[in-house]
Amino acid sequence: MQQRRTIDQIHTNRVLLNGQLDTPKWWAPTVITLGIIVAIGFFLIGIMVNKGLGVTGLSRPVYWGLFITTFVFWVGISHAGIMISAILRLSQAEWRRPVTRAAELLTVFSLLTALMFPLMHAGRPWRIIYYIVPYDFARGIMPNVRSPLIWDPVAISTYLTGSTLFLYIALLPDLGNLRDRTTGWQKAFYTILALGWRGNPRQWKLQTVGGILLSALMLPIFVSVHSIVSWDFAVTPAVEGWHSTIFAPYFVIGAVHSGVSAVVTMMALMRWLWKWEDFIRPEHFDALARLLIVVATGWLAFTFLELIFAVYGLDAPEIELRDMQIFQWPWNLLFVVFVFTGYIIPVGMWLQKSVRNNIALMFWSSLFVNIGMWLERFMIIVPGLARKTPFVYTWEAYRPSGLEWFILFWSLAWVTFLMLLFSRFFPLVPLFEQKESQTFGDSIKIGRARVPAIVREAD
Amino acid sequence: MTLQREKRDYSWGMVVDVDKCTGCQACVLACQAENNVPLNLQDRFERARAMQWIRVERYWEGEFPDIKARFIPIMCQHCENAPCEPVCPVFATYHNNEGLNVQVYNRCVGTRYCANGCPYIVRFFNYWEPVWPEAFRNHLNPDVTVRSRGIMEKCSFCVQRIRRGVRNAERDGRKVQDGEIQTACTQACPTDALVFGNFNDKDSRVSKMKDDDRHYTLLPHLATDPNVVYLAQIDTDRSAGSSHG
Amino acid sequence: MASEVIHTAGAHAEAHEEGHHELPARVDPDVALSELVATTEANGSAVRTWAWILGILSLVGIVSFGVKVGIEWGDQAKWGYTAAIVAFLFSAFGGAPLVAIAPMIAKANWVRPVARFAQLCSLVSIVISIWMIPLILNLPMLIVDGARRRSIWFEGPDVSPHIWAVVALTTLIISSVGLIWAYGMPDFAVMRDHGTGWKQRFGNWAARGWIGSTVQWRTMRMRIGMMGTLYFFTFVFIHFMLSTDFAMSLVPGWRDAIFPMYHAISSIQAGLAVTVIGIWAARKYLGLEKYLHLDQFWSIGRLMFAFTLLWGYFFISAFIVFWYGRSGSDQMWIDFLILGPYFWVFIGAVLLIWFTPWWWLIWNKVRRSYNGTAIGAGLILAGVFLDRVRLYVAAWSVPEERIHERFLTEYPGTVYPDVMDILIMVGAVAASVLLVILATRVLPILSVWDVQQFNLLYRPVDYMKTKVSLIGKPD
């Protein structure tokens, strides 16, 4: 927004459609490499389902470990999409435009990935059908709606459905665009997907209304998803570190922190890989970094409250748990890494204007945030279980097995793989949003100065 | 809906006199044999995956030479207000009308959420398919299901014995008499520290014992309302009795 | 392609619209200047009458305050209603300046006419500090009966809560005066140049030689930023301190990590409501229709709606954990603070803070009307008051000797306000309103410079078939 740049629409079309019409050379080798990692990951999951969860490092009472951490992590990442495209849309922040699609995409794929973790982590995944489909009406055995584990799939699948619709609706104008620029099977493919998009006023109106309605409807879902995930933990009075009233908003704001950072990571990659310097600009990074400073500081306040009120009760087991979490090896190291990567390093960096406008530094700082946020979840889930209740006799530590680590790594590769696959067929930067922002930008002359201005519809 | 305690025919429960417990582990062994609990080999203990439906916790008190060993047997407390029950997504664990917290192996999908909810840590997950040495094949109790991998299990108050006892009584058209049903652990306990019975029967041994001055329950601040009542240990050589929990 | 884009703009407009309303006209700078300066004199007699009424009410409040100190000193349960009104005033008036600070940081144009009033509300911290004195003095020490009670100060000195309350109050007063002053400098200069009598002299002193040079503007922005940040952090801290020291830690077993946040959220909600009512009154009684448009009401109404929902969310976050947890202290929270002695107060609070405003403000027509938004604001204020009564009166009624229990098992009965309590509460509100009214005699209720900027940066323009506004975003 700092300087108004005019980019003509032909240039926009040519550059932003390069993924589909002019696939870069690195694309195929990268996708194949990732595909191999993904295949190995699926194979290992198969082994785990076949042999049993003994192959993990889980024990008693650390019944939940790295998988649930990673599940929470991916659900957290999924909060990027709605944060960027719905909240910023409703609050009319202009700089959201080039990243909306990528953020929504991240939402969809990370939710898909997140859903797989509780499934593979169950003792008998094949019986999960009990979960999802109400069955056996004759004996009156329905899924137990009192269980947060029933709320979870309901919330996540609603969120997934909504996000997919949202993504699709925003994709329609670009699909029409692609249809007009391709031939052969590709044309047929895009023709079907474009649902007869011609860009007439009625279609634009429907598309806009649909987008705004979905934004508003998705907001409560956005909040509820991570709240429900947090209630998986918070409703359990037996685990000292979990039973905290702050968990729902704490998880949500942490999710926004990690999700928006993941979007920054992705924007940097998109800018480098597809050479979209004209469209993903330093000012977009700058705006996201400013937003992130606010979010991260809010999140830090929640972290602080969580810790204060954990110790507030002065219950011996709770103190013991916090002692392990913060002062005992190796958790003390993790704690320091968590505090530094989750807040101190990135926010310290973002406070400098030079960093906010430096894409490489933004890339690294956003990676730090996600390391920190993953650790945050890990440090909530595992020590709580390992130091459960005053029965010292059952206190245990937990060391994830190599297989668990690989599956964590697999999930990263899997999401990247899906993203790249998507990028081959659909543009990652919405063309129509880009053009709309060109039209909405203007300037006002005040005295001798020209002030950048923005068009707002009448209220 | 589960019936209130008073309205039930039977309300099974146990009283554990910690004062009498010598920590001999006979109950643990009896339970293992009765309920087809897989063998706890060394690596199970090393990886903290051992299964003991009843365990004897041992705590040291004081400094050598003035040191005392404290024992406390802990099994499923069969809480009336059980934290493990509402969290199960598939109703694999619920409260039945005789006050038991029962586990339905067939329904369990192994989310292990109940185990996280349990403050007494008495729920066990089958990380592997259980295996017994060839010689043990014919030692398994035919009344008890052998649990497969991937599901939760826990103390059932020897529900197979309860069922048999109730069935016999119903056949004879009477109520179960006190002492008629014994769980494996109470039967094996050499010092009679564990007593099983019906809390709804005013004259039963457990009903009388649970009103003892020494009675307490584990983790009472969680308001789980357990059906296992402990009687505190009294030290004659110390002014204050010490009890855990 | 070009036509696509333009259609989008049209569709945007239509999607939002039910009834088109006219874009506000820009106001001539000279007219704005003279009209806004005139508001400091406007309605002289009416304002004087009101000032007398409010002044007498506050005096009655202070007198009954003195009487109460005389008879009921040291009886903790008797001071619950004073705590409630202090917490309420903090929430309502203390939260208002955030309405100015946050959108200013986000460079929102609509906030400019509103910012001054919102900031003036923070002056109420001066009134609060008087009303806080008995509370601070009646608060139990950290060591009760030889043992340390639960508090956020852990191993701190015995009088930590008392000292920190004083520190927080002082910082709040300093930062609110600082914020008003930093933001008001150009307007003090306006009073200096266009006012008369003592106002002119005061403006001369307070403007510190303001001539509107570039350097001065830059310094001013920096000062506003600093003071705004300071105010924000003091605000956060004061809610943390108030909600824990003056409510939570008085009830054994109440461990509720979200409570400070919940307190702050409802405070911002009430602050928005106070702002709405203030500008509604300014519009109605000071004739400022030209400067306060639907845009302001609509924007604040939307925020108010968002915070209403947030209140519900924060409440549910705590409630579900206690309700599902069912441990002893969890049950205590529900039995004492919800179903217990203040059940009907709680019902009233939920209806007024959350349920009614939710279904009232969700209606776009309401948010697009001056009176509708103001009614919603009134409901919220009443609700926040009831909520504070529920929390603070309950907390203060717990006898000190039970403070060491793991959690409360028997609950004290309902405490009803006596005549003195009512007079004290009415007096506190009257004094707060009086203070704000008096402040608008010195500084125009709408900031002159910000209204001028609002007009400079805003252009109604024709855009194809529709009318849109063009809003400048200076860096």
pLDDT of B188-227, one tens digit each?
999 999 999 999 999 999 999 999 999 999 999 999 999 9
Average of per-residue pLDDT across A375-400: 90
Superfamily of domain A9-433: Formate dehydrogenase/DMSO reductase domain (1.20.1630.10)
Residues of B in contact with C322 (CB under 8 A): none
Instruction: Output the pLDDT for position B1.
Output: 52
Calpha distance C183→C449 (Å, rounded): 10
DSSP assignment of C432-461 equals: HHHHHHHHHHHS-SS-HHHHHHHHHTEEEE
Taken in order C95, C100, C105, C108, is the CA torsion positive or negative?
A: positive
**Cβ–Cβ gap B125/A123 under 8 Å:** yes
Q: What b/e readout covers A164-184, taking b as 16+ CB neighbours within 10 angstroms?
A: eebbebbbbbbbbbbbeebee
Residue A135: pLDDT band by 50, 70, 90 thresholds? low
Number of domains in chain C: 1
- Determine which helix (DSSP H) or strand (DSSP E) holds A152, and give its type and residue range: helix A148-179
Give the nearest partner residue to C298 out of A440, A443, A459, using CB atoms. Answer: A459
Give the position of tokens 């097995």: A401
Task: Extract the residue ranges of chain C whose pLDDT is less than 70.
Answer: 1-22, 475
Domain coordinates of chain B in residue numbers? 5-231
Over residues A176-226, the pLDDT tens digits come to: 999 999 989 999 999 999 999 998 999 999 998 998 888 888 888 989 999
Calpha distance A356→A360 (Å, rounded): 10
Instruction: Output the pLDDT for position A32.
Output: 96
| Helix, strand or coil, per DSSP, at residue B100 | coil
| Cβ contact C326:B82 at 8 Å | no
Q: How far is B80 from chain C (nearest CA, A)?
A: 12
Which range, of A26-30, A180-184, B241-245, C376-380, averages the lowest pLDDT? B241-245
Structure tokens at A139: 């004996």
Q: How far is B220 from chain C (nearest CA, A)?
A: 8
**Cβ–Cβ gap C313/A312 under 8 Å:** no
Over residues A141-170, the pLDDT tens digits come to: 678 889 999 899 889 999 999 999 999 999
Three-state secondary structure of A347-405: HHHHCCHHHHCCHHHHHHHHHHHHHHHHHHHHHHHHHHHHCCCCCHHHCCCCCCCHHHH
Query: In whole angstroms, how large is the CA radius of gyration of chain C?
Result: 24
A159 shares contact with chain B (CB less than 8 Å): no
Type of residue found at C300: I
**Cβ–Cβ gap A389/B219 under 8 Å:** yes
Instruction: Output the pLDDT for position C10.
Output: 41
Instruction: Output the pLDDT for position C17.
Output: 42
Calpha distance C275→C99 (Å, rounded): 8
pLDDT at residue A76 tops 80: yes
Instruction: Output the pLDDT for position C20.
Output: 47
Start-end of H helices in B138-235: 159-171, 184-188, 205-210
Which range, of A30-44, A374-388, C6-20, averages the lowest pLDDT? C6-20
Q: How far is C132 from chain B (nearest CA, A)?
A: 36
Give the nearest partner residue to A456 out of C151, C313, C471, using CB atoms. Answer: C471
Calpha distance B218→B212 (Å, rounded): 16
pLDDT, mean over chain A: 89
Task: Give a yes or no: residue C8 inside a domain.
Answer: no
Find the domain containing C252 and state its range: 33-458
C294 shares contact with chain A (CB less than 8 Å): yes
- Provide the percentage of residues in chain A whose pLDDT is more than 70: 95
Domain coordinates of chain A in residue numbers? 9-433
pLDDT at residue A109 tops 70: yes
Instruction: Output the pLDDT for position A130.
Output: 63
Task: Give a yes or no: residue C25 inside a domain.
Answer: no
Question: Considering the domain B5-231, what is its CATH architecture?
Answer: 2-Layer Sandwich (3.30)
Q: Which residue of A has its CA nearest to B150?
A: A123
- Provide the percentage of residues in chain A whose pLDDT is more than 90: 63
In the complex, which subunits touch A with 3 or more CB pairs below 8 angstroms?
A: B, C
Structure tokens at A163: 């996000």
Query: In whole angstroms, how large is the CA radius of gyration of chain A?
Result: 23
Give the nearest partner residue to A150 out of B58, B89, B116, using CB atoms. Answer: B89
Tell me: ipTM over 0.90. Answer: yes
pLDDT at residue A4 tops 90: no
Global pTM value: 0.93
Which range, of A323-332, A358-367, B229-238, C177-186, averages the lowest pLDDT? B229-238
- Distance of alpha carbon C398 from the chain centroid: 28
Residues of C in contact with A455 (CB under 8 A): 9, 461, 463, 468-470
Count of CB atoms within 10 A of residue A97's CB? 24
